[in-house]
Chain A
Amino acid sequence: MPSALRLADPRVPIPDVHPPYVPAASAGFPVAENLCRVLVNAAVNDDYRLMVAAAPAAALAARPGQFFHLACPPSGEDRPFLRRPMSIHAVDPAAGTITFLYKVQGAGTRGLATLAPGDRLDAFGPLGHGFAAPEGRRHLLMLARGVGLATLAPQAEAVAAAGGRVTAVLSARARDLVMAEDRLAACGCDTLVVTDTDGTSAVEALRARIAAIHAERPFDAIVTCGSDRLMRLARDFARAWGVPGEVALEQHMACAVGLCHACVRPFVDAAGETSYRRVCWDGPVFPIEEATSWSI
């Protein structure tokens, strides 16, 4: 096995004390290979798992919309070479924990799924530009589907904690795949669950329902993640209402700190010029108007 992989493999003991060149957050190096210890790693439904890990202080600075680049252990035939990006789903500075909500997809996430309580997790981060500060938002519209929920829940919670109102639309294939509903309700968000099985997730039906909520209590910001259709819907609303919209994007990633330019997405400016922007470094949260320019 290549030695770099050995280093990144959280199952191989690495000294608890980082060598001196791995700096503390206070030393002006905010991004670290955080050695965490898994506390919980359990299935929440057929698709998703929730992983809670005890993390060093540098990791606890993570803001909503930021992510960590996780070293994934080998499992079975799988030898995931690169790390895998995962949004921060919750940070609890008091408990000293970070939480991820992830879907088992391929080699990397299959490896993550094998981590047991007590195992090490090497979480590089916190990384990327998160959502705009939650303060001052009066009514946030959150449009989440699938994995988008993992990314958006902390921002909804932050807006609610800052005194804002949140309407959280949770879209899923079926009722039993809806996650974080209780958590969002507990922090005072209004939740609206829509599914493919009962037809309520159809964009036009959703458009009418959300417009009705807006007429009663206007939204002043929108966040979305996890679905191109919801992203376009969010873009339409942001334009119509003249409010800021943000989307968290995904792309295959290698370095996660803007070195390699692998995780780019095309953006088209007003003059029709295409440019590529790095999801890891320029995002993963982007203004919705810019991010949807290529998909209209």
Chain B
Amino acid sequence: MVDLSVRIGSVTLANPVMPGSGTLAEGLADVFDLGRLGAIVTKTITPDLRRGTLPPRLVEYRDATLFAIGIPSLGPDYYLKKTVPFFARFPTPLVASVSADTVEDFARIAARLDVPEIAAIEANISCPNLRAHGRAFGMDPVATRDVITAMKAATTRPVWAKLTPNVGDIAGFARITEEAGADAVIVANAFLGMAIDPETREPRLGNVMGGLTGPALKPLILRMVHQCAEVVSIPVIGCGGISDWSDVVEYMLAGATATQIGTATFVTPTAMPRAIEGLEAYCRRHGITRIAELIGAMRPRGGVPTAAIDPVPAKVSA
């Protein structure tokens, strides 16, 4: 028996695999048993009703996608009346994701969602604020601190801060959220990007800018997870470019306690249950009885501590 469970503060997950917000909805329940997931994370909602951005909303690359969806939101009333009961039937912690235009509204929606069916609330401070040139709360240290502080004061639910990778020093932001009381930090949301059609000279996305997601992100976000895990003591949840169990293992070795899978589900709809099964097989193969042993368990190369490795290129070349 392999114990796949991990703990994010007071919340115990049966395994370290959950969806990235915005990449799971009721439709996936037609495909596999969502009760197998470590947690169910729902699409970000806002206090107000939103339609989302102008189509086209999607550009495709060989190993990435560029989406500009915005946050089509039916608001907290619909969420509590319809979405929560739908997912509450699964014996899996339900994580709500929220966003808002102001610090006060972040607090207000966190208070609205203070219900027993919701195991934790993600603060989507990282979603590009599409009306402010892609600038998000999460790009501003003060706004980041204020949002988390206000949410913590407004709800008894654990608050997970989802960081944006579109900053210079992401570890600094992880520290800020920890100091503001966040119970976990998610690293990270999508990279801002854009695409232009050379034939028409028009932007390919109706919104001009969008978020880059998918396998191309993995090395970038893995590095960020490593940097964040070194400076905070709250759990880090890794998210970016995970396709399968081996990517989950990599993230855990870099310091993640759990992971979120997004775009991979669009390519392989059973990517998450496949990853869970793959993790169990990996643990068996390596004689690991508790998967939590993997958290931050990256080994120094060849037994030499990483800090002692001379970074001169000539020495690193194979």
Asked if B267 and A4 sit within 8 Å, CB to CB, the answer is: yes
Tell me which of A1, A82, A275 has the highest count of chain B C-beta atoms within 10 A of its own C-beta: A82
Q: Which of A5, A23, A82 contacts B32 (CB 8 A)?
A: A23
Which of the 9-residue segments A48-56, A149-157, A248-256 touches chain B? Answer: A248-256
Give Cα distance in the complex from A82 to B33, angstroms. Answer: 23
Asked if A21 and B57 sit within 8 Å, CB to CB, the answer is: no
Say yes or no: A281-B51 contact (C-beta < 8 A), given A2-B215, A4-B264: no
Asked if A276 and B36 sit within 8 Å, CB to CB, the answer is: no
B24 on the interface (CB 8 Å rule)? yes
Q: Which of A5, A22, A281 contacts B267 (CB 8 A)?
A: A5
B271 on the interface (CB 8 Å rule)? yes
Contacts of B32 in A (CB 8 A): 21-23, 29
How many contacts between A and B, using CB within 8 angstroms?
Answer: 138
Q: Which of B30, B51, B57 contacts A31 (CB 8 A)?
A: B30
Given contacts A21-B270, A33-B268, 20 further A-B contacts (CB under 8 A): A2-B243, A7-B271, A8-B268, A22-B273, A31-B31, A32-B31, A33-B269, A81-B62, A81-B63, A251-B55, A252-B58, A253-B58, A254-B58, A254-B266, A255-B265, A257-B269, A261-B69, A264-B55, A265-B55, A276-B55
For the complex of A and B, list the 9 residue pairs with the smallest distance between their C-beta atoms, beginning with the closest. Answer: A257-B27, A2-B215, A4-B243, A258-B27, A21-B273, A262-B58, A255-B266, A79-B62, A4-B264
Beta-carbon nearest neighbor of A257 in chain B: B27
Q: Which of B51, B65, B72 contacts A82 (CB 8 A)?
A: B65
Contacts of A253 in B (CB 8 A): 58
0/1 per residue, B64-107, Cβ < 8 Å to A? 11010100100000000000000000000000000000000000
Contacts of A33 in B (CB 8 A): 268-270
Considering only CB atoms and an 8 Å cut-off, how many residues of chain B contact the other chain? 46
Give Cα distance in the complex from A59 to B158, angstroms. Answer: 42
Beta-carbon nearest neighbor of B218 in chain A: A2
Asked if A260 and B22 sit within 8 Å, CB to CB, the answer is: yes
Contacts of A275 in B (CB 8 A): 51
A274 on the interface (CB 8 Å rule)? yes
Tell me which of A8, A259, A266, A281 has the highest count of chain B C-beta atoms within 10 A of its own C-beta: A259
Give Cα distance in the complex from A4 to B261, angstroms. Answer: 11
Contacts of A264 in B (CB 8 A): 52, 55, 57
Q: State which residues 131-171 of B face A: CB under 8 Å.
A: none
Say yes or no: A259-B31 contact (C-beta < 8 A), given A81-B64, A276-B72: no
